[in-house]
Structure 1
C-alpha cells in the first residue's frame, strides 16, 4: 500500500534535502522524498493525503523518561503546582473520596515541589497523618528523587530509627523520631516496596500513557529505570500486543539477569515494540531538591555553608558498571545533574577506555544540568552524549538562581556551548517530572526564559533547527537507530508528526503554542487532534 503526503512543508532533518513538499510511504517505510511533480508511478498510489499547508516532520523521539511512572501517574494523586500544605491535604482527601479508597490501601501522591509551597519546606509524616490516618501514604517530590511517607506507610515498610540508611541516601530523624522524609537511594529503595496497582487497572494506565506521548508527536519512548518488579507488566504488554509505541528499557544492573531470562529476544532489538537498550545508573540527585552533587557549595544553605549535595555510587562501582556494560555490549546511561557527579563519570569512563572501545556503547549523560564548560572538551574527546533536561530553564530556572547563583544558573543545560564544540546532544523531559511536551522543550532551548520571565543564559540558546534535531535525528543516534528513525529519508520508518505551524518560521516565542495535529507510526495514525 503506497500512501502519498503532499501540499505541505516537510522538514526532513537531512542536510542534503532539508525541505520537500511530498513523500511516499509503502508498508510503513519511506519510499520517496522530493517534489509532488516527481512522484513516480502515481497511478499506484492507494491514498493521497493533502497536508493543507501544515508542516510534517519526523516523529519526535523521547531521549529519556519513565514510561511506567507516566502510566502510574494516572493512578496517583496529582500534586502538581500545589502551593500549600492545605492544598496537598485537600487533593489527597478528594482523591480518597472520588476513588472510594478503602482503609489500608496504599495512596501514592506525586508532584509537590517544596520550592513552590508557602511553607517553603517538605511536609512531614505528622502532617500526612492528618490527611489520611487509615492509609499508608507516600508523597513523591516533583523531581522524583525525594519524598515523604506517613506513619502508617513507614510502619508497613518496617522503617524505624534503627533502619540502616543505604549508601547515597538519607532518612531524616529529628529529636529522635522519623520525620518520614527520605532522599535518593533511601527513598527509591522503599518506594520500590510500595505495592503495584491491579494488572487490569495498570494496563489501562499504560494505554493512556502511550496516548499522552503520542499527543505530543512522540513515537519512541524510554523506560528510564527498569526494575524487576516491572517484568510482569511488560510480559502482559508484549503478550497482548498492547504497545503502540516503541519502548527502549534501561535496566537496574541488579536486575539484568531477570530481564535477560524473560525477554531474550528483546536484547538490543525490538520484539513487539520492546527493546532492552542497556543499563541506567544514578550518580546524584536533583538541583531543585539540592541533592545534585556539585563542585562548588550551594548558596543560601543556612545549616551548612559547605554543602555540595552528594554522590550515590562509589568511584569503584561506577567503573564496574561501565565495564559490565562494555562486556555485555550494552549502552549505559548515567544520571548526572551536578558537575561533581559528571566529573566522577568522566573519570570512570576515561579509566576504562584503556581496556575497551567506549564509543561502541555510546554512553549518555542524563540531564547534564550543571555540566561545567570546562568539562565539555573531555565530553567531546570521549564522544559522550549529553541529554539535557532543557525544560529546567523555564520550570526551575528561578529556583536555580537562588540555589546556585546567577553565574552557574545561567549555564544550566549549556546547549549553545555544546553546539559550538560540535557535541551531539539530545533533549528530554524526564516525564512524568514534566509533561513530554516536545514543542515546549524546543521553545525553552531557543528562548531560555524562566517562569518569572527572565532570560537565563541567553548565550546558551540555540536556533530552532538545532533544537529540532536534538529531539529527532540526534535522539535516534542516541538509540543506535539513526538508520531507521529521526529523519525523513528513503528506507527509514514512516514515523511522522504533523504540526499546524512551521517551527522554523513562526515567532520564536510562539513555538510552544504550535499544535500537534497528527502522529503517525510506521504509516499508521496513532493520534489525531
Structure 2
C-alpha cells in the first residue's frame, strides 16, 4: 500500500472520506493498476489492494464498489472553449449528425426563425461543407429564405468561417465595397457577396451581435462544465478568454467560482491578439501565468496565427488543392508575431498560440526561439495549439527549445477526410503525428477544441488507437499509440501542459482526488467498443462525487 506522507500516529487515526474498491484503477502510465483507492480531504490518501485499503475504512467512510469498472485520473481536455461550449448548446445545432444535408440545415434555421422575434439574431454552429450533400458552403440567399426577418450567422464547425445572411451583413456594415481586412476573407462571386466571411473579416458581425451579460457567461460556464463532468472530464483549458465580453469573462469566471457554479478545474488562456487583447488589463491586475489556485488559474496568452485546414484557412507553405492556389490565411506579419510573443514572454506569461499549417508553425517556432534566446527560461513550456502539419525539422527545433505541441487527435476522426480532400493524401495522412511526438518526448496532451468537436472523449481515444476517421479512412497507422499512452495524453500530459503535473493527472498519494469511472475497461476493450459502447458512469472532483449516471436515471 502506498500512503501519503503522514506520521505513524496520524496514520493510525486516519479514516478515508471515500474509498473506491474492486477496480481496476489505472493510476498513471508509470504508476500501474491497483484494486482500491482511498481519498481524504480532497487528495489521494493511499492506493493498493482491497485488503490494504480496508484498513482505512471507518464508520464515516463512503465506499464505492467499482464492480470491475475502470477508474482513471479525471480527464483533462487541454484545449477547448468552455464559455462557447456552454453558450452554443442553446444555438441551432448544425452538426452533421443533426443536420446531414443542406435542406435539413436550412429547415432547422427556419424553425428557429419561426419562433424568434423579428430582428433578433439567430446563431448556429457545426456545419461542415465537406459532409453536406452539396459539398459546398451555404449561400447567404439560402439563409435569407430560411430566415427573412432575422439576422443569421452560421459558423462552420472549425469556428474560423461564418456564413451570414443579408440582414446580418447589413447590420455589420459589410457590402461589396468593403475592404478585406488583414488576416481575413470576404468572399464574392460574380461581384456579389456569397455571405462567407473568414477569420478577421468576421469582427464587424460579432460587434453587431448584442454582447452576453455576465449572467449569460456564468450560465455558459456552468452548463458547459456540467457537460464535461458527465464525460469524465474534470479539468480543461479555456482557449481564448476574452472573445465574448472582453475582460468581463474574467469577472464571470471568478463569479462562477465564488458562487459555486464553476464545475471543472479551468486553466484560462488570455486572448492576446492586438486590438482585442485582454492581456494589458490582466497584467495590470497582477494576473499572470500561475495566478489563482487549483480550481481556477491564469494559464497562457493566446495569439491566432492562422485558421483551419478543413476551412482552407490554415497557413501552408504549399497551396491547397483547387484552382485558387490559396495557401490559407496568414494572420500576423513576422514582425508583429515576434513582437507580440516577445511582449508576453517578457511579462512572464506562458504562450499557447494557434498554429495549424506548417507555415504558421514555422513562424511561431521562430518567434518562440527568439524570445527564449533573449530571455532564457528553460521551463516556460510555450505551446503550439493544434500543431497539425508540423515537419520533422520543426520537431527537432521544438525539442531543442522546450516547445510543446497541444493537439486534438479527434480532428483526425472528424476532419481527416476533409484534410485529404483539400490537401491530398501525401500531406493529409501524416497530420497530427502523435506517435512521433511521443517518441521525441514532447509530451503531447489532447483535447477537443469544443465546440469545434464534441468533448466526448471516446472518438478521441478511438482515433489515437486506430488513426481512423469517421468514414474509416486510416490516416497513417504508424502514428497510432497504445491505450496507456492515450490515457497518459488525456491525464498526465494534460497536467504537464498546464505546469500542474505535480498536483494532478495521476492517482498517487498527495495528488488531487479527481477520478473518472467508465462503464467499460478501456485497457482491454477493442477500439470500436470504446467508440460506440462506452460512457462515463461516475466523476469525482476534489474527492466528491459530482456526476453519477445511475443517480440521474433514478
Q: TM-score of the superposition, structure 1-length normalised?
A: 0.93
CA RMSD across the alignment: 2.1
1:138-153 aligned at under 5 Å gives the runs 138-153=153-168
- Determine whether 1:20 maps to 2:40: no
- Determine whether 1:258 maps to 2:281: yes
Residue 529 of structure 2 corresponds to 510
User: Take 1:275 and 1:164, find their aligned partners in 2: how far apart are those partners?
Assistant: 39
For each residue in 1:314-345, what CA deviation from the matched residue of structure 2 results, as whole angstroms up to 9, or x when unmatched? Answer: 11122122212222222111111111111111
Q: Which residue, out of 170, 176, 182, partners 1:167?
A: 182
Residue 389 of structure 1 corresponds to 408
Residue 22 of structure 2 corresponds to 7
1:7-156 aligned at under 5 Å gives the runs 7-15=22-30, 17-39=31-53, 40-43=55-58, 46-81=61-96, 82-97=99-114, 100-156=115-171
Q: Which residue, out of 413, 429, 444, partners 2:448?
A: 429
Residue 349 of structure 2 corresponds to 330
For each residue in 1:12-55, what CA deviation from the matched residue of structure 2 results, as whole angstroms up to 9, or x when unmatched? Answer: 1151x311111111111111112222234444762222211111
Residue 344 of structure 1 corresponds to 363
User: Take 1:287 and 1:329, find their aligned partners in 2: how far apart are those partners?
Assistant: 31
Residue 3 of structure 2 corresponds to none
Q: Quickly say closer, same or farther: Cα 1:235–1:165, change in 2 above 3 A.
A: farther
Q: Quickly say closer, same or farther: Cα 1:383–1:53, change in 2 above 3 A.
A: same
Preserved contact between residue 140 and residue 146 of structure 1 (Cα < 8 Å) = yes
User: Take 1:245 and 1:452, find their aligned partners in 2: how far apart are those partners?
Assistant: 33
User: Take 2:460 and 2:368, find their aligned partners in 1: how far apart are those partners?
Assistant: 29
Preserved contact between residue 279 and residue 333 of structure 1 (Cα < 8 Å) = yes
User: Take 1:201 and 1:320, find their aligned partners in 2: how far apart are those partners?
Assistant: 35
Preserved contact between residue 385 and residue 426 of structure 1 (Cα < 8 Å) = no
Structure 2 unpaired stretches of 5+? 1-15, 550-554
Preserved contact between residue 447 and residue 509 of structure 1 (Cα < 8 Å) = no
Preserved contact between residue 349 and residue 358 of structure 1 (Cα < 8 Å) = no
Preserved contact between residue 238 and residue 266 of structure 2 (Cα < 8 Å) = yes
Residue 8 of structure 2 corresponds to none
Question: Could you tell me how far 1:207 is from its partner in structure 2?
Answer: 2.5
For each residue in 1:394-449, what CA deviation from the matched residue of structure 2 results, as whole angstroms up to 9, or x when unmatched? Answer: 21222211212212222011011112222211111110111111222111011111
For each residue in 1:449-506, what CA deviation from the matched residue of structure 2 results, as whole angstroms up to 9, or x when unmatched? Answer: 1222222200011111111100100000111111111000111110000012221111
Question: Could you tell me how far 1:105 is from its partner in structure 2?
Answer: 0.8
Residue 546 of structure 2 corresponds to 526
1:272-351 aligned at under 5 Å gives the runs 273-299=295-321, 301-302=322-323, 304=324, 306-351=325-370
User: Take 1:439 and 1:192, find their aligned partners in 2: how far apart are those partners?
Assistant: 36
Q: Which residue, out of 381, 385, 389, partners 1:370?
A: 389
How many matched pairs?
522
User: Take 1:462 and 1:43, find their aligned partners in 2: how far apart are those partners?
Assistant: 41
Question: Could you tell me how far 1:199 is from its partner in structure 2?
Answer: 5.3
Preserved contact between residue 388 and residue 431 of structure 2 (Cα < 8 Å) = yes
Preserved contact between residue 139 and residue 194 of structure 2 (Cα < 8 Å) = yes
Q: Quickly say closer, same or farther: Cα 1:201–1:297, change in 2 above 3 A.
A: closer
Report the 3-state secondary structure (helix = DSSP H, G, I; strand = E; otherwise coil) of the residue aligned with 1:115. Answer: coil
User: Take 1:45 and 1:376, find their aligned partners in 2: how far apart are those partners?
Assistant: 52
Deviates more, 1:309-318 or 1:154-163: 154-163
For each residue in 1:355-382, what CA deviation from the matched residue of structure 2 results, as whole angstroms up to 9, or x when unmatched? Answer: 1224432111111111123321111111
For each residue in 1:225-282, what CA deviation from the matched residue of structure 2 results, as whole angstroms up to 9, or x when unmatched? Answer: 1111534533542442311211211111221233456x75786233593322121111
Structure 1 unpaired stretches of 5+? none
Question: Could you tell me how far 1:85 is from its partner in structure 2?
Answer: 3.0
Preserved contact between residue 336 and residue 366 of structure 1 (Cα < 8 Å) = yes
